[in-house]
Structures are given as C-alpha cells and as structure tokens.
Amino acid sequence: MITTSGLTKVYQSRGREVTALDGVDLHVREGEVYGVIGQSGAGKSSLIRCVNLLERPTTGTVHVDGVDLTALAGRGRRAGKELREARSRIGMVFQHFNLLSSRTVQANVELPLEILGVSGRERSRKALELLDLVGLADKAKAYPTQLSGGQKQRVGIARALAGDPKVLLSDEATSALDPETTRSILKLLRDLNEQLGLTVLLITHEMDVVKTVCDSAALMKKGRIVESGTVAELLATPGSELAGELFPVTGAASGPDRTVVDVTFHGEAAAQPVISQLSRTYNIDISILGAAMDTVAGRLIGRMRIELPGRYEDNVVPVGFLREQGLQVDVVDEADGIDNELAELTELAKDGAK
C-alpha cells in the first residue's frame, strides 16, 4: 500500500549537508498497522513527511496505493492539483493535533470536506458521523481549547478520516498524551484499522506503541532502516534488536548444572501448553526465569526464558522436543556455561586439597 524505494533526504544547512534519510526502502502492506520506531533525529519524522510529500525527497520514489506521488510533485514548494488530490486520500494525524482554534470541533472535521468541495449538508452529516465514530458526538459544538489532549487527538483522527482515506499516517500521535490516553487512542487506531481496513503507518519513539498496535515494525537509525518485518519475523531473527526490545527476557541460571534456554514463540505454534507437556513427557522440573508473551489472535507470540536441570548435553532431547513444536530455542550465554565449569573445577580442586 505504501512503498518507498531508495528514499533519501538531504537538508542544506548553512552550506553543510545533513542526511536525514539515507536510502530507505519501506514496504507497508494493505490493511496492516506498521510502526517505525527510532530515537529523535533518526529520520522517522522526515520519512513520514516524505510519504505524503510534505517534504520532497532528494532522491527515491514514494508509491501510495499504486500512485507514484514523487512523479506528481512539481518543482517548487507549492503542491500541484494532482498531488493535492492524492494527499486528500491520505489522512494524517499529528503529535500536537494541529486543530484550528478558530473553528468548532465539527468545523475542524469539515475542513477537509470543504477542500474536497462537499456540499454543506453532506459535510455536516459526514462530520457528525465521524465524531460519533471516535466517540465525541457530544462535543461537536465545542472549541478545541475546551477539550483534553485525548479528545483533541480524537478530533484529529476524525478529521484525518474525512476524505475516506485508505492510508492513515500518524506522526507521534500519542507522544503528547499520558499512558492511559495513549492506550485509548491506540485502541481507536486499531479499531479503525479493523473496521475500515485502514492501512496505518505510524512513527513513534515508544516501544509500547509498537507492542500494542503494530503488525509490523521497522527500526530506524541514522536515516536508515536497520531492521524490519512482521513482529513474528522479527522474533525469528536471531539477535534482532527490535525483538529484544519488544519481548525482553532476563534471568540467570540459579546454579551450576543448569541449562538456560530462550524459547521464542513466533505465533506459528498453536497456543498449546508446551511447557507442561515438556515437563510431563520427560519428567523434569522446569523453572521459568522470565517471560514476555502476548496472545494475538489465539496465537502465542513472545519469548520465555526457562531453566532445565542438568547440563546442555543432558537436555538435547527436551530441546529437540521444543523445536519439534515449531519453537525457536536458543541456549543462553555459553560463556556462563564455561564459567560454571570453571567453578566446578575450582570446587574439585578444593575437594582434592581436602
């Protein structure tokens, strides 16, 4: 639905060149919620602004819903008619809401419809319908200053949906909101994604946002996408930084002669009680040291760090069992194992001395 290829953006600042985007290839599938995460200055803001050409990329192309937007861009700062038409089918919500304080809530939602040339009665009907959709039907006649942050963002979302967009761009939409309001706004985005089949591209610096709503995610650093994929794909990638952040597990072995393994649930394995099956089948005691799991559509996604009795050599069969279940199993920190052996040797030496 959204494809950027070889996107670069170079700013000229007092004769110096600053590269904000350095060859970004992004692919957002239709109907998914895609999160781009990165620290400030990583270029994510430039990226989302290049998608609807609020910023003109230096090189590269942007396709949204099959239309090459970069081909529609004129030479100057001013957008031509075709680009403006294309933009009206891409909704955008902003961190600071960007509502007109001179207009009522309803008139704010009507603004994009005025631009589209919709008649007065139809505008009013559509605006009230959208306000109802975002749960603000009773605030139609209020002014933005009379609303809370969360309510303002709901108006922003209603306004972004006025042109019946297929794509919604969300520029740090929850970054100015408290955690509870953030959750309610994310839930709204998720609901809209499911009800309207809306494709959502959001940028954020909060891992929680990605965790809560995203089907896919990309990690940006210094103007490049360093990791990307669906949450399951990221989990399956050994050493994935995003997966580690999304599903952090910690915990060290409780003593020598223990095997610590990370079990990754990609969502392919049905939500079976594998751990208790493992325990009963091999008659071993299993300790769970840490876990970060989510159930998405009846499938388990996440990571679990478990401890098995005995050394790794003793646990080849149980580990094989887990792999047979379609789970990814990684042995944690072989260096720890060596340390344990060293510890054993010292103990042996001590025993010998006695």
Partner 1 sequence: MTWSEMQPLLTQGTYDTLYMVLWSTLVTVLGGLPIGILLVLTDKGGLLQNQPLNKVLGVIVNIGRSLPFIILLIFLIPVTTAVVGTFIGPTAMIVPLAIGAIPFFARLVETAVREVDHGLIEAVESMGGGIPTLVGKVLLPQALPSLVAGVTTTVITLVGYSAMAGAVGGEGLGSKAITYGFQRFETGFMVATVVVLIVLVTVVQLIGDGVVRLLARRGRTA
Residues in the site for partner 1, rule: CB under 8 A? 52, 54, 76-79, 81, 83-88, 90, 92, 94, 96, 98, 100-103, 111-112, 114-116, 142-146, 159, 163, 169
Q: Closer CB to partner 1, residue 1 or residue 93?
A: 93
Smallest distance, Å, CB 137 to partner 1? 19
Smallest distance, Å, CB 142 to partner 1? 8
- Dihedral over Cα of 126, 129, 133, 134: its sign: positive
- Give the closest residue to 130 by CA, choosing from 102, 97, 108, 100: 108
Any idea what the Cα angle at residue 292 is, between residues 187 and 31, rounded to 5°? 35
Element (H, E) at 36: strand 33-38
Smallest distance, Å, CB 160 to partner 1? 8
Q: Closer CB to partner 1, residue 76 or residue 239?
A: 76
CA–CA separation, 167 and 30 (whole Å): 9
Smallest distance, Å, CB 104 to partner 1? 8
Q: Residue for token digits 């009773």? A: 138
Smallest distance, Å, CB 11 to partner 1? 12
Q: Closer CB to partner 1, residue 118 or residue 301?
A: 118
Beta-carbon contacts of 186 under 8 Å, excluding residues fewer than 6 positions away, are: 174, 209, 212, 213
Distance linking the first and last C-alpha atoms of the chain: 73
Smallest distance, Å, CB 239 to partner 1? 38
Q: Closer CB to partner 1, residue 33 or residue 53?
A: 53
Cβ atoms of 90 and 106 within 8 Å: the answer is: no
Smallest distance, Å, CB 169 to partner 1? 8
CA–CA separation, 326 and 301 (whole Å): 12
**Residue 309 CA neighbour count, 13 Å, CB half:** 7
Smallest distance, Å, CB 90 to partner 1? 7
Q: Closer CB to partner 1, residue 52 or residue 230?
A: 52
Q: Closer CB to partner 1, residue 67 or residue 292?
A: 67
Q: Closer CB to partner 1, residue 125 or residue 141?
A: 141
Q: Closer CB to partner 1, residue 142 or residue 331?
A: 142
Cβ atoms of 315 and 308 within 8 Å: the answer is: yes
Q: Closer CB to partner 1, residue 102 or residue 283?
A: 102
- Give the closest residue to 133 by CA, choosing from 197, 191, 214, 213: 191
Angstrom CA distances, 271 to 28, 95, 248, 301, stand at 28, 37, 20, 9
Smallest distance, Å, CB 78 to partner 1? 5
Q: Closer CB to partner 1, residue 100 or residue 288?
A: 100
Annotate 49-87 with three-state secondary structure.
Answer: HHHCCCCCCCEEEEEECCEEHHHHCCCCCCCCHHHHHHH
Smallest distance, Å, CB 220 to partner 1? 21
Cβ atoms of 248 and 302 within 8 Å: the answer is: no
- Give the closest residue to 332 by CA, choosing from 314, 348, 308: 308
